[in-house]
Amino acid sequence: MNDRTLTTSQLPAREEMVHAFLNRDTNYEGIFLTAVRTTGIFCRPSCSARKPKPENVEFFSTTKEALDRGYRPCKRCRPMEPLGQAPEWVQPLISALDEDPVRRWKDADLRAMGLDPDRVRRWFVKQHGMTFHAFSRSRRLGGALGTMKEGKSLTEAAFDHGYESLSGFRDAIARITGVPAGEATDKGALYLHRLETPLGPMLAGATDKAVCLLEFIDRPMLPTQLTRIRKRFSEVPVPQSNPVIEKLASELEAYFKGELQAFSTPLDLRGTAFQEEVWQALLQVGYGQTASYGDLAKTIGNPGSVRAVARANGDNRMAILIPCHRIIGSDGSLTGYGGGLHRKKFLLELEQGIRSPGLFD
């Protein structure tokens, strides 16, 4: 372990940023903003608007810098808002779902709210990985199972949560949990909820007791991680927040503001014995510090296991919380990072005081 400070500048090389902007690379979200001199507008790296000529573009680290130079925020990509925030048109639907989670939604209900069902479907698939109807069904089922754990009968839980028949409720339980309805009360809920951060949206997963997942939405490894936690955890996936995730969200906000150095939200490290040993070693790499794979191998008392340590580091399913971003090459280079190398750079610079907290200053 060491306190070696990075000597990188806040922004990547101009050629690299131009390439990222022209290719709408989401890995650079939170790393820089693009301002177009000919329009007076600044955008996210991933903005879908027509791309300007590179010679008409300049780059900034924060929204404040862009605003101070007289640029206006793009109305399409909304760079002043955290990435992933629900747009205004869908917010009434989300509020309605929160207010009445047992409602059985139909396309006609969406149209009555002035919403196009196809547009709603596309947004939920993109943001949550499932259609709106699948999302609402999962919430209803999770709520029903919760009331069964509290002592309600199968019949009460079914009809209180909008199921029209017991057979349909039993089939839904078996399909999601893999066990008969009578055994489902032994299963808890695995809550899955999107969190907005300056580096882009993340998916948080938690039981009633601890966090078991925190991953960037666009990380290719995410589907694999979801499959793994479903195998290791017997809980039923429910697409909503819970008190554990709410605490995590609060701590992440403070972390990105530079106001928090150690997370107190409980973690469930469930993995293989070796993975858990490596993840525990990662937790010993403190805020503002870095270590190498070799350092971790020595920490667990197995200096010859560098490659296995690297694999376990890559299998970490709780970004930031289990700080694999603090692992650098033995020569001080940044090495790889599942969430994107420039996210890693951002996090290290934030922790070492090189970067001002947050993109949305």
Name the amino acid, one letter, at 318. Answer: M
3-state secondary structure of 303: coil
> Which residue out of 43, 74, 77, 212 is catalytically annotated?
43
Spatial separation of the C-alpha atoms in residues 359 and 200, rounded to whole Å: 10
CA–chain centroid gap for 85, Å, is 12
Tell me the C-alpha distance between 172 and 139, whole Å.
Answer: 12
Residue 290, SS3? strand
Spatial distance between the Cα atoms of 14 and 28, rounded to a whole number of angstroms: 13
Q: Is 324 a catalytic residue?
A: yes
Q: Which two tokens stand for residue 104?
A: 């059985």
Which residue is catalytic, options 47, 77, 212, 324? 324
Give the span between the Cα atoms of 78 and 355, in whole angstroms: 22
Contacts of residue 50, Cβ cutoff 8 Å, sequence gap at least 6: none
47 is catalytic: no
DSSP states of 173-242 as a string?
A: HHHHHSS-GGGGGG--EEEEEEE--TT--EEEEE-SS-EEEEEETT-TTHHHHHHHHHHH--SEEESS--
SS3 state of residue 342 = helix
Q: In sequence order, what are the residues at sequence separation of 6 or more whose Cβ sits closer than 8 angstroms to the Cβ of residue 13? A: none
Q: Which residues of 201-225 are buried (b: 16+ CB within 10 A; e: fewer)?
A: bbbbbbbeeebbbbbbbbbebbeeb
Q: b vs e for 33-65, b when ≥16 Cβ sit within 10 Å of the residue's Cβ?
A: bbbbeeeebbbbbbbeeebbeeeebbbbbbbeb
Cite the active site residues: 43, 324
